[in-house]
Amino acid sequence: MRLRWPRRVFAQVLSVQLLITTGVTALTAGLFLRPLGAQLDEQAEHRALAIAQATAAQPGIAHAVLAGRPDPDGPVQAAAERIRLATEASYVVVVDTRGIRYSHTTPGQIGRHVSTDPGPALTGHEWTGIENGTLGRSARGKVPLRDTEGAIVGAVSVGIAYDDVRDVLLHALPGLLTYAGAALGAGALAAFALSWRLRKRTHGIELSEISALLDEREAILHGIREGVVALDRRGRVRLVNDEAQRLLGLGPDAIGRPLDAVLPPGRTADVLTGRVSGTDLLTVRDGRVLVANRMGTADGGAVATLRDRTELEQLGRELDGTRGLTEALRAQDHEHANRLHTIVGLLELGLYEEAVDFVAEVTGAHRATAEQVTERVHEPLVSALLVGKSAVAAERGVALRVSGGTRLPGRVVDPRDLVTVLGNLVDNALDAAGGHRAEAFVEVDVRVTGATVVMSVADNGPGVPAAARELVFADGWSTKEAAPNRPRGLGLSLVRRLAERYGGSARVGERDGGGAVFTVELPEALHPQAGPPGAVRSLEGVNR
């Protein structure tokens, strides 16, 4: 019957652990028994050699070998047997230089030639080893037999029966197997405990299911349109999907590195590392508006998600522009209605000349305001913005002024960037100045130095405290309460990021006489060559 490999992770791990534990235990026992056997052989050989040395040192044995013939009842046999019985050796054999035995455990072997080579001992060398002889396999020691003058007259060979060595080894084997069995049992229990814990952590699923889940996770992580960044408890990046790489500008080498090492200091790094807490936190990264959420994991790490709402924010800005235009039209409609009522009243009273003068005055003032802007600002989008904002400001009781030094030629590289910057600055200034004093005003100054555009917007509102002059440019920071589903604190952050993208700067200071003044520098915002004379674009039709 063919054995089937278990499919559950728990059973597979347990089986593998048991096989490994059994194999390691058997290997350890074998590695222990092998040197133990060699050690016992060596001890037996040394013991045989010591007995042989003691026998050869007997003063009468060498003399008896020289004086007499091999005799089972001779002095050599008697001395050898006495030593053998005293030392419990297997045999003690004395031979002459020809290899003829003078002693042996079996008297019938005396006078015969030895079965093993006595050459090393007869040449003056001591020898130990394992050999087979007439008495079987034994551990042997052989030494030369010398007379009183040191001349070699024979050799002494002593053997320890190899069965005795094996008996010692077999006697030690039960204890060794007991320890090996205990180690195997402990290993099996440890393997079972590990497998049981693994079963709880994997919920008893199969390996194929784990592989499928991993493939699905990879597909989901790299397929969703939200950025995902996973951090370990030390703040190192464990995972970053394709969308997060795109939104944060990270590369594949970010894995394993601290997040602070792959992201520049700023709000984005603070939000992702948890130094700033909250939900749906707004941050700006390389001109993109991101919404970040962070959740901790059980191992002390965290998973952060990022949503790109740049397009939504752009639509919001366009909607703000449309709303501003609507408010401007509404303000103009309200103003025109009042003026028409005045004209109708003058006509009904028969004051025709006064009505004509009033119409001429109103028409001239309105035209003067538009002409004042278009004469100084030759970029239609920017001048249209200022004209529209002036109507909104008038509706809110704030005077919008354009400084006499304002000059902007019609060779702007990207007018939309100037509209974004100037629109945000004017909106913030109107919010700050409106309602704070009776003569509230906002003054706009746009100047050009070479190819650099410098825009300043000042107001006579409460101003910005020195401690908050950097915070006002931070993502999500605002002194005003946000409307539902419409976060605040992004306008000035986008202004600074746009200025930095041009290589310029955005700063805020204190206005002389009270209030705040915001200054933005945009290097290389103008084309280097001016257009031909008379190429100034007008705002004809802006106020139709």
Domain assignment of residue 269, given as a range: 224-308
Asked if 463 and 397 sit in the same domain, the reply is yes
**Residue 533 belongs to a domain:** no
Asked if 277 and 399 sit in the same domain, the reply is no
Asked if 299 and 326 sit in the same domain, the reply is no
What Å distances lie between residue 449 and 258, 496, 499, 520, 526, CA to CA? 43, 20, 16, 13, 10
Q: Which of 249, 277, 308 lies at the terminal end of a domain, its last residue?
A: 308
Q: Which stretches does DSSP call E strand in 415-537?
A: 441-449, 452-459, 505-510, 516-522
Reduced to 3 DSSP states, what percent helix, strand and coil does the chain have, rounded to the nearest 5? 50, 20, 30
Residue identified by tokens 């600002």 is 377
Per the CB < 8 A criterion, the answer to whether 525 and 452 are in contact is: yes
Say which residues have a Cβ less than 8 Å from residue 455's Cβ, sequence separation at least 6: 418, 421, 422, 425, 444, 445, 446, 519, 520, 522
Of the chain, the percentage scoring pLDDT greater than 90 comes to 7
pLDDT, the chain, mean = 77
Report the range out of 161-175, 314-328, 448-462 with the highest average pLDDT. 448-462
SS3 category, 230:
strand
Asked if 356 and 482 sit in the same domain, the reply is yes
Residue 257 backbone class (left: φ over 0; alpha: ψ -120 to 50; beta: rest) = beta
We report the CATH number of the domain holding residue 493 as: 3.30.565.10
Residue identified by tokens 């002889």 is 133
Asked if 325 and 246 sit in the same domain, the reply is no
Phi, psi values for residue 469, rounded to 5°: -75, -15
Give Rg (Cα) of the chain. Answer: 53
Work out the average pLDDT over 201-223: 65
We report the CATH number of the domain holding residue 291 as: 3.30.450.20
**Residue 187 belongs to a domain:** no
Task: Note the residue count of the chain.
Answer: 544
Q: pLDDT tens digits for 65-105?
A: 888 888 888 888 888 889 888 888 888 999 998 889 999 88
Asked if 460 and 338 sit in the same domain, the reply is yes
Beta strand 227-231 with 302-308 is antiparallel
| Cβ count near 191 (within 10 Å) | 19
pLDDT of residue 445: 93
Asked if 401 and 343 sit in the same domain, the reply is yes
pLDDT of residue 212: 66
The residue with greater pLDDT, 525 or 453, is 453
Work out the average pLDDT over 376-382: 86
Asked if 341 and 296 sit in the same domain, the reply is no
The span from the CA of 238 to the CA of 262, in Å, is 13
The residue with greater pLDDT, 137 or 57, is 57
Look at the chain and report how many structural domains it folds into.
3
Asked if 516 and 451 sit in the same domain, the reply is yes
Say which residues have a Cβ less than 8 Å from residue 274's Cβ, sequence separation at least 6: 294, 296, 302
**Residue 504 belongs to a domain:** yes
